Structure 1
Amino acid sequence: MESHSSFATARRTELFDTLVELFLAEGFAHLTLDAIAARLKCSKSTLYTLAGSKEQLVTAATVHFFKRATESVEATVGVATGSRERVAAYLTAVGEALAVASDRFMADLDALAPARAVYERNTRIAARRVQELITDGVAAGDFRRVHAAFAANLAANMMVRIQQGGVRADTGLDDASAYRELASILTAGVSA
């Protein structure tokens, strides 16, 4: 029985991975459940085992995307040494994780309240993580005594502007480049 359960879990993960890839590339507002099922080469009833409606499916896929992105970002931070390198690695990895999202996906995400809430929650989590990294750097003496919550809030506000396209519109920087700049400016600003 165990193997059936692990197969079902693996199949579910595979479906969500494929769903996330589709949504990231093309957005989701224009896709019907029938179209999604056809693209995933599965039945509509299979989609209903993942979620009870299109909105719930999109929200679950958004959660899946951010969970996967968080694991990737934390793995990158895990191998970085030194406070400055950890903050830079974190912000750069966030930029890279989000760089795969098309403008259409980001617009669709912004327009669907439950999915937007997932994104906003993950931005708050990211801001707390930046705050932790800065606090650790201050404690280690690598960063000057800055107000870590303020520095994290500054980063979070810029992260939101990057994702909403404001930075690209104002500066021409793509998201990954904007995250690298944010990492550079933030780490230089707090360095001892």
Structure 2
Amino acid sequence: MPSSRRTARQTDVLKRLVALFAAEGFASFTLDELTERLSCSKTTLYQLAGSKQELVREAVKHYFREAAAAVEKRVADTSAPADRVVAYLDAVAEQLRPLSRQFLDDMAHFEPAREVYKANTYFAADRIRQLIAEGVDAGAFREVHAAFVSEVAAATMQEIQRGEIAKRTGLTDAEAYAELASLIVHAVSM
């Protein structure tokens, strides 16, 4: 159901559902447990989505939609090209910080949620490409293949999401995003 058609109660339940999933993951929950934890009826949940799988997908979409808006606001408040790249990746890290490892693991193992995350990662890579191209056009960055740099960023972001960077480096996700931002900015700077 589009957010413009949701009642205040449905919007509230969806926000609380997103917070619950972000904190504890979603794979182990039954609909009965969700109704108990959210103090709502199954009817309310079914008004948000027709099944648990669709409910998870809707919650993940909602989370990333809200996160994308917050990230773009942060970039809009920044003007220097290098600062915009750093602001973008820092804001992405900030938005991912509340997501528990259980949520990320559940998302990695559940195709509909993984597809939402993947689409958002591709969007992020395209946005990084745009920011780098803008910096090149403004003369703030050296001539680089912006699409290639964004693909490297996307691959790294996928590894961060899967927990592989943390395992191999000991960096938290936020630290990994800060390192990625530094790497990109230094690689494209004149």
What is the TM-score with the length of structure 2 in the denominator?
Answer: 0.96
Unaligned 5+ segments in structure 1 are 1-5
1:4-43 pair list within 5 angstroms:
8-43=6-41
Pairwise CA RMSD: 1.2
Unaligned 5+ segments in structure 2 are none
- What percent identity do the matched residue pairs reach? 50
Q: Per-residue deviation at 1:15? A: 1.4
Give 3-state SS (helix, strand or coil) of 1:68's partner: helix
State whether structure 2 residue 92 is matched by structure 1 residue 94. Answer: yes
Once the two structures are superposed, residues 31-52 of structure 1 have per-residue CA deviations (whole angstroms, 9 ceiling, x without a partner) of: 0001011111100111000000
Once the two structures are superposed, residues 119-177 of structure 1 have per-residue CA deviations (whole angstroms, 9 ceiling, x without a partner) of: 00000000000000000000000000000000000100100011111110011000011
State whether structure 2 residue 172 is matched by structure 1 residue 174. Answer: yes
Partner residue in 2 for 1:3: none
Q: Per-residue deviation at 1:92? A: 0.8
Hey, what's the Cα distance between the residues in 1 that align with 2:10 and 2:150? 35
Partner residue in 2 for 1:69: 67
Letter of the structure 2 residue corresponding to residue 86 of structure 1: R
Q: Per-residue deviation at 1:14? A: 1.6
Hey, what's the Cα distance between the residues in 1 that align with 2:114 and 2:5? 31
Q: Per-residue deviation at 1:22? A: 0.1
Which of 147, 152, 155 is the matching residue for 1:154?
Answer: 152
What is the TM-score with the length of structure 1 in the denominator?
Answer: 0.95
Count of residues in Structure 1 that have an aligned counterpart in Structure 2: 187
